[in-house]
């Protein structure tokens, strides 16, 4: 593993369109906090009147928080305001996340004469309309680097935006793993020692596939009368999922946990982790389950197959297929030794490939590559660049 570049004095802005609890937001928090600890000076730019979750994650880290206002889909005023902020903080590299800030971040960085890069985390909101695809293509053209968190997302972006695949760099997400001394979820749910607990982590949206998971558990209910399912996340489908569980005779076996701050403890209490999404990039919850050495069953979508070594460290199933999901769960429930083996393999792979420090190191190296390239091309003044580098 290559060493972390020297970051002392490097000024970085991280721009993101949401302040809520999500995968992209967690990556921004981890990047800013770790880069700050390594000597860089970081500014995180968030929407005004946001939820405050990301702000809370950054509290006490030394990272500066700024806010932007975007009142219409096309806002030169927003771009000018962002550019002024970049100049005021003497930013060397602006790093934008997801579609809206990819567009406005590239625009503002061009106005301010700042190097810019984009990371896309899985959302392809831009793909729905031609105007968005044109705007996203222009943002990529105006940026020094474009990153996707998975190979499948990079390929999709290449097709969507009519750009060469070689112009998109892939950097996998990384996660922090917290060691849990004593998980309390089973006590909280009043489970007996003999009860088996399946856990899923993901907001309650259709794309996360929770209804397929409930159908799969219903197929196993008669053979496994002590089997329970806990889903960690928030969203509009809570009532619908609870009603589905009642219809399937699982009313007392489905536990909707809502948003939890102790995801590591939730995972530590699980016998099996399931990720039933019908579409994904590289979900952080999956990586956390790998670090927690949980046996995993997951849909073979996005980068999940790659993360699980094409089935070497977890069981892959077809998305939106409850019988296939039930069959995979049955394999693990009936073979505890297999479950332990897969969990151990998953942890070893996570440590080797998906540690947050490795993600931060890759981004830091990319920042310096971008600045070095700009220096050689003369697109940034030599004096300030040398001070930054």
- Cβ neighbours of 14 (radius 10 Å): 26
pLDDT confidence of residue 183: 84
pLDDT confidence of residue 379: 54
Residue 5 lies in a domain: no
H helices present in 113-150, as ranges: 130-141
| Same domain? 200 vs 109 | no
H helices present in 38-75, as ranges: 53-58
Are the C-beta atoms of residues 124 and 156 closer than 8 Å to each other?
yes
pTM (2 decimals)? 0.84
Q: Which residue has the tokens 């939730």?
A: 266
Can you tell me the mean pLDDT for 150-167?
A: 93
- Encode pLDDT of 266-280 as tens digits: 999 999 999 999 988
Q: How confident is the model at residue 2 (pLDDT cuts 50, 70, 90)?
A: low
- Cβ neighbours of 178 (radius 10 Å): 14
Cα separation, 333 vs 12, whole angstroms? 47
What is the domain-level CATH number for residue 35?
Answer: 3.40.50.2000
- Encode pLDDT of 109-125 as tens digits: 999 999 999 999 887 87
pLDDT confidence of residue 19: 93
How deeply is 192 buried, as exposed, middle or buried, from its count of CB atoms within 10 A (0-12, 13-18, 19+)? Answer: exposed
Q: How many domains does the chain have?
A: 2
| Same domain? 158 vs 148 | yes
Residues in the chain: 389
| Same domain? 80 vs 204 | no
| Same domain? 190 vs 48 | no
Residue 278 lies in a domain: yes
Can you tell me the mean pLDDT for 3-32?
A: 89
| Same domain? 101 vs 240 | no
Q: Where are the beta strands (DSSP E) in 20-130?
A: 41-47, 64-68, 93-97, 115-120
- Encode pLDDT of 31-72 as tens digits: 999 999 999 999 999 999 889 999 999 999 999 999 999 988
Query: Order of strands, edge to edge, in the sheet holding 145-148?
Result: 64-68, 41-47, 11-16, 93-97, 115-120, 145-148, 168-170
Residue 96 lies in a domain: yes
Cα separation, 180 vs 264, whole angstroms? 7
Are the C-beta atoms of residues 199 and 268 closer than 8 Å to each other?
no
Assess whether pLDDT exceeds 50 at residue 389.
Answer: no
| Same domain? 41 vs 143 | yes
pLDDT-wise least confident of 177-181, 208-212, 308-312, 349-353: 177-181
pLDDT confidence of residue 3: 60
| Same domain? 160 vs 47 | yes
Residue burial 136-169, b: 16+ Cβ < 10 Å; e: rest: bbebbebbbbbbbbbbbbbebbbeebebeeeebe
Q: How confident is the model at residue 376 (pLDDT cuts 50, 70, 90)?
A: low
| Same domain? 154 vs 272 | no
Q: Which residue has the tokens 């105006």?
A: 142
- Encode pLDDT of 201-240 as tens digits: 999 999 999 999 999 999 999 999 999 999 999 999 999 9
H/E segment holding residue 376: helix 356-377
- Describe the crossing of helices 151-161 and 130-141 by its angle, rounded to 10 degrees: 110
Residue 1 lies in a domain: no
Can you tell me the mean pLDDT for 79-97?
A: 98
Q: Which residues have a Cβ under 8 Å from the Cβ of 284 and sit 6 or more positions away?
A: 23, 26, 27, 173, 175
| Same domain? 204 vs 298 | yes
Q: What is the mean pLDDT of the chain?
A: 92
Residue 99 lies in a domain: yes
Cα separation, 5 vs 371, whole angstroms? 13
Give 41's DSSP letter.
E
Q: Give phi and psi for 380, each to the nearest 5.
A: -130, 150
Q: Considering only CA atoms, which of 227, 200, 170 is closest in space to residue 286?
A: 200
Q: Which domain holds residue 365?
A: 11-174+355-388
Residue 3 lies in a domain: no
| Same domain? 244 vs 314 | yes
Residue 312 lies in a domain: yes
| Same domain? 200 vs 319 | yes
pLDDT-wise least confident of 79-83, 300-304, 336-340: 300-304
Cα separation, 168 vs 267, whole angstroms? 33
Cα separation, 304 vs 327, whole angstroms? 19
Q: Is 60 left (phi over 0), alpha (psi -120 to 50) or beta?
A: left
Cα separation, 187 vs 222, whole angstroms? 24
Cα separation, 81 vs 108, whole angstroms? 8
Residue 80 lies in a domain: yes
H/E segment holding residue 228: strand 227-232
| Same domain? 159 vs 207 | no
């Amino acid at each position: 593993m290559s060493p972390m570049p020297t970051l002392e004095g490097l000024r970085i802005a991280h721009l993101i369109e949401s302040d809520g609890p999500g995968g992209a937001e967690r990556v921004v928090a981890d990047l800013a906090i770790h880069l700050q600890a390594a000597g860089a000076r970081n500014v995180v730019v968030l929407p005004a009147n946001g939820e405050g979750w990301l702000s809370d994650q950054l509290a006490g880290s030394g990272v500066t928080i700024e806010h932007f206002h975007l009142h219409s889909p096309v806002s030169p005023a927003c771009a000018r305001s962002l550019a002024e902020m970049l100049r005021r903080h003497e930013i060397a590299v602006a790093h934008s996340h997801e579609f809206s800030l990819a567009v406005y971040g590239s625009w503002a960085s061009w106005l301010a004469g700042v190097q810019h890069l984009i990371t896309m985390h899985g959302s392809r909101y831009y793909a729905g309309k031609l105007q968005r695809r044109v705007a996203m293509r222009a943002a990529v053209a105006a940026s020094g680097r474009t990153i996707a968190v998975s190979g499948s997302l990079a390929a999709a972006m290449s097709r969507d935006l009519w750009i060469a695949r070689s112009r998109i760099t892939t950097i996998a997400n990384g996660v922090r793993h917290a060691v849990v001394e004593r998980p309390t979820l089973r006590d909280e749910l009043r489970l007996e020692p003999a009860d088996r607990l399946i856990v899923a982590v993901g907001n309650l949206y259709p794309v996360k596939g929770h209804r397929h998971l409930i159908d799969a558990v219903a197929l196993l209910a008669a053979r496994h009368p002590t089997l329970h399912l806990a889903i960690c996340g928030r969203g509009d489908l809570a009532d619908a999922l609870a009603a589905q569980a009642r219809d399937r005779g699982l009313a007392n076996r489905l536990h909707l946990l809502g948003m939890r701050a102790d995801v590591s403890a939730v995972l530590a209490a699980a016998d099996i982790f399931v990720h039933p999404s019908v579409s994904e990039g590289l979900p952080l919850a999956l990586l956390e389950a790998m670090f927690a050495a949980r046996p995993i069953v997951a849909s073979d979508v996005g980068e999940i197959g790659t993360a699980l070594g094409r089935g070497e460290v977890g069981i892959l199933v077809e998305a939106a297929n409850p019988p296939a999901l039930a069959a995979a769960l049955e394999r693990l429930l009936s073979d505890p030794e297999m479950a332990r083996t897969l969990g151990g393999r998953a942890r070893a792979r996570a440590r080797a490939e998906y540690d947050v420090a490795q993600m931060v190191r890759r981004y830091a190296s990319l920042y310096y590559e971008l600045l070095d390239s700009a220096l050689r091309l003369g697109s940034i003044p030599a004096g300030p660049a040398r001070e930054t580098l």
